[in-house]
Structure 1
Amino acid sequence: MAIPSFVDQVTLHTFGGNGGHGCASVHREKFKPLGGPDGGNGGRGGSVILRVDPDVTTLVDYHRQSYRRATSGEPGRGDHQNGSNGEDIVLPVPDGTVVTDADTGERLADLTGPDAELVVAQGGRGGLGNAALASSSRKAPGFALLGEEGLERTVLLELKVVADVGLVGYPSAGKSSLIAAISAARPKIADYPFTTLVPNLGVVVGGDVTFTVADVPGLIEGASEGRGLGFDFLRHVERCAALVHVVDCATFEPGRDPVTDLAVIESELTAHGGLEDRPRLVALNKVDVPDASDLAEIARADIEAQGYRVFGVSTKTGEGLRALTYAMADLVAQRRAAQPAPEPRVVLRPEPVRRGRSDAEFTIARQGDLWRVRGDKPERWVRQTDFGNPEAVGYLADRLNRIGVETKLLDLGARAGDGVAIGGAPDGTGAVVFDFAPQVDVGAEILSRRGEDVRLEEPQRPAVARRRELDREYHEAREGEEQDGGYHGVRRR
């Protein structure tokens, strides 16, 4: 299937890069047995950024390739070497692109103006190495923090053409011919309806004012309800400072006349909504045809009585085009003068989607047999914890206790042995579940569950047992020699 050259609606799947893991390393050097921790931090993951590019006029690139993924950060290394950050992906989009979250329906940004940016998928933060986790009470951490996963977000990109003047009217009313006559644009022109399938843009100069003109193809009765092409392209007139009704005065279709055509298009614009404040002009087109010229003169009085400024024009002979161009330029100049001064460019960074967020650091609620803990910090700490390292688990427990999770659980009536779940989906899937063991302090150096120290119970390593046996033989031999009255020495190995 052929891919169109003009695309104004796409679904884009974006993936921020994952943060690199921190490194747990100990400095090793000859004659320095206590070198200390030297594990570096992991690098930050790259982000996916949308940026307005004036040279881009369509979203077709994202129609062809709708999945974009930033690179991940590298893990830290020993000798205090931090991992490099992942590279950001900057995606150019046309001016006037509206970004909406596909899952929640929330409008994230309306990107207008040069270089406007939106960070649509934030990269994950890198994990801290054990050198950064060392403190006066924990001089040699045997663990590091994991890097966070990058944000995944599916967004809808919708292009609303940014033009100063929008041309509206029935198919074959002469909108494309009018753009070709007053600008350097060369759209396709033919004598059958729906020749124009995409909006055409042209740059027009009227006196000292330079402005852009766009036509909206396919407007017929019922366009606001999906008939013709109006349902897809009516949104493009929302950006226009003024509207020009292009009315065909030479049509041979029964039941049509300039006044009726104008009323039909106005009803569709009203049904679409949001265009009530746009000034209007009416261009009675094709007055070079004798019968059309007479019909235009008859209809002029009725249209002017409705409050419109009317211009009889011919794109073939050029009649009336200069007056119409200057009238459009006046409306554009008035609109620009009324606009406030442009604000400095702001990079938009929407908050990542986290369920259960509140003003407090965490919330606790009973859910079935579990106590569910929600909050930015607890959930982030859980994602950073290596649960294969008991020391890291102890460090997590201390962090949770430091912000008052244990105290809050006791206040709510939690008992020892109750299940405590942190993170995961609202239905409980993906959560990390702990057994509640209150009022037992633990440091990250304790390689066991809270309240226990398995180092007192684990079997001795062979090297330790062999060294202790040699020490016992050495001391026994020394005591025996001293009792015999002499000490000849026992070599220790």
Structure 2
Amino acid sequence: MTTFVDRVELHVAAGNGGHGCASVHREKFKPLGGPDGGNGGRGGDVILVVDQSVTTLLDYHHSPHRKATNGKPGEGGNRSGKDGTDLVLPVPDGTVVLDKGGNILADLVGEGTTYVAAQGGRGGLGNAALASARRKAPGFALLGEPGRAGDVVLELKTVADVALVGYPSAGKSSLISVLSAAKPKIADYPFTTLVPNLGVVTAGSTVYTIADVPGLIPGASQGKGLGLEFLRHVERCSVLVHVLDTAALESERDPLTDLDVIEAELREYGGLDNRPRLVALNKVDVPDGQDLADIIRPDLEARGYQVFEVSAVSRHGLKELSFALAKIVGDARAAKPKEEATRIVIRPKAVDDAGFTVVAEDGFYRVLGEKPERWVRQTDFNNDEAVGYLADRLARLGVEEELVKAGARTGDEVVIGAMDDAVVFDWEPTITAGAEMLGRRGEDHRFEAPRPAAQRRRERDAERDEADHEYDAFKPF
């Protein structure tokens, strides 16, 4: 059974925003009290947060689909819908968030660090919020915006100061067990360690973490053994320790060859050339091990390595090794730039940023931009008044003017949004006037002073004829 998982693909979906409500206040002796439809609630976000008590991504391996709750729709009486509940997903310290293409979206290091993996949709405005002096009684409300959904990849890179690397059964787990309070599984066969082990070491006033990387063998950087899965766990370390087995029973192996093989795999993996290296000659408590250590030590020192002879059984040389590691870790921490306090960065938009673009494509014109695409998603196309309101908004934004500049003509096909959820129109240049005249949108004649019946009939017939002429071309397919 899988007990440690350090890479998962997570399918996240934020909550949808609640729809706004179109309602008119009614009570005894006051049947037309004005619009009182409430706004829809915001959809819940999907948020990743670093939790030190979490050490693996196992939960998301078994349950990769996660969804936040939707916002509630608005109601009459100016009652807004309840916001959806955010879905908070705890992840281990050192989790990297990537998209499907391998691009890094966030690097989550430090307790409480958060990242919004999927943002909830906005709630739609009710007709009370849409009312204005010109639009006294809107007969429509805005729809809630769908929440974002997609796939992200979570990769765990252990946050450790020291990484122990070496062949299987070189004694890495044994060293961790005596240097710290960690209790990894220890046995005399290769690949005993199937997951990275992490321990905390105290040397004088310095406290640091130490981890081992299991399963490094020739070809590990290409996926042989377990090395490819766990080499990422050494990327954050400050120092590498080569653990060499001086009591290896295999006649075809020797410590210097083991060192060359591991270094070749680290170079192939990349990104670790600037890490300082130490060499720990392990198992010197064995007579043959001490003899071999005496033979190869001059060669290692000639290569520039700082060499320590250690034994996890007799505890020989462990104090010297732990204090040497503490010094390197302390120097690395001192060399790091101090983290600055959180700053709010204000990036004003350019004065000539229209907020959208019009692109001429093969046989049609596409309108792209956050505002027009969001407005389309929030429009109820079964309501002519809502369609007219969308037309007014697009005209005020300048979409119609840009379409003219791009060469659009009456009857040309205009697409707003991406291909998946795009809305297609046959463009009519006089759409602004038509939107204004659609039944004098938002105005209820019952709120106005009485007029002669003949005048009202003439105005109604004129408005109906104009609306039929102007809006037939604007209805979406």
TM-score (norm 2): 0.89
Match of 1:37 among 31, 35, 51: 35
**What is the Cα deviation at residue 249 of structure 1?**
0.3
Structure 1 residue runs of 5 or longer lacking an equivalent are 349-357, 459-493
Partner of 2:293: 296
Provide the residue aligned with 1:73 in structure 2. 71
Q: Could you tell me which residue of structure 2 aligns to residue 406 of structure 1?
A: 400
C-alpha contact (below 8 Å) 1:448/1:454 kept by paired residues: no
372-381 or 7-16, which moves further after superposition?
A: 372-381
Seen in structure 2, the aligned counterparts of structure 1 residues 300 and 398 have a Cα distance that, compared at 3 Å, is: same
The CA deviation string for residues 90-111 of structure 1, in whole angstroms up to 9 with x for no partner, is 1000000000012x43211010
Aligned to 2:263: 266
**What is the CA distance between 1:34 and its match in structure 2?**
3.3
Asked whether 1:90 is paired with 2:81, we answer no
Q: Show the counterpart of 2:141.
A: 144
Deviations 1:208-237 (A, max 9, x none): 111111000111122111111111111100
Structure 2 residue 145 is the aligned partner of structure 1 residue 154: no
Instruction: Tell me the SS of whatever aligns to 1:442.
Output: helix
Measure the CA separation in 1 of the matches of 2:187 and 2:336.
Answer: 38
Q: 1:248–1:371: structure 2 CA closer, same or farther, 3 Å change rule?
A: same
Q: Give the Å deviation of 1:370.
A: 2.1
Is the contact made by 1:45 and 1:125 (CA closer than 8 Å) also made in structure 2? yes
Query: Are 1:362 and 2:356 matched, yes or no?
Result: yes
Structure 1 contact 446–453 (Cα < 8 Å) conserved:
no
Shift of 1:439: 2.6
Deviation, structure 1 residue 308: 0.9
Which one is further off, 282-291 or 25-34?
Answer: 25-34
Report the counterpart of residue 134 of structure 1 in structure 2.
Answer: 131
* SS of match in other structure, 1:277: coil
Give the C-alpha shift of residue 442 in structure 1.
3.3
1:446 maps to 438
Cα distance in 2 for partners of 1:346, 1:207 equals: 35
TM-score of the aligned structures, taking structure 1 as reference length: 0.86
For 2:80, give the aligned amino acid.
N
Larger radius of gyration: 1
Q: Secondary structure at the match of 1:245?
A: strand
Preserved CA contact (<8 Å) 1:101 1:153:
no
Matched residue, 2:280? 283
Structure 1, 360-369 or 324-333: larger mean CA deviation = 360-369
Cα gap change, 1:359/1:299 in structure 2, threshold over 3 Å: closer, same or farther? farther
Deviation for aligned residue 1:433: 1.4
* Structure 1: distance between partners of 2:260 and 2:166: 11
Pair 1:360–1:9, CA change in 2 (3 A): same
Q: Rate the CA distance shift 1:398–1:300 in 2: closer, same or farther, 3 A.
A: same
Q: How does 1:28-67 map to 2 (within 5 A)?
A: 28-67=26-65
Other-structure match for 1:174: 171
The Cα RMSD (Å) is 2.1
- In 2, Cα distance between equivalents of 1:108 and 1:392: 37
Q: Provide the C-alpha distance between the structure 2 equivalents of 1:7 and 1:37, rounded to a whole number of angstroms.
A: 54
3-state SS, counterpart of residue 239 of structure 1: coil
- Contact kept, 8 Å, 2:368 with 2:418, in 1: the verdict is no
CA distance in 2, matches of 1:209, 1:453: 87
Distance 1:209 1:21 in 2: 57
Using the TM superposition, give the Cα deviation of residue 367 of structure 1 relative to its aligned residue in structure 2, in angstroms. Answer: 2.7
Alignment of 1:99-248 (within 5 A): 99-102=97-100, 104-248=101-245
Q: Which residue of 2 aligns with 1:321?
A: 318
SS in 2 for 1:232: helix
Structure 1's 10 and 454: CA in aligned 2 closer, same or farther, altered over 3 A? farther
- Rounded Cα–Cα distance in structure 1 between residues aligned with 2:265 and 2:36: 69
Q: CA deviation at 1:342?
A: 2.6
Please state how far the C-alpha of 1:364 moved relative to its aligned partner.
Answer: 1.8
Measured in 2, the distance between the counterparts of 1:149 and 1:184 equals 49
Q: 8 Å contact 1:18–1:147 — kept in the other structure?
A: yes
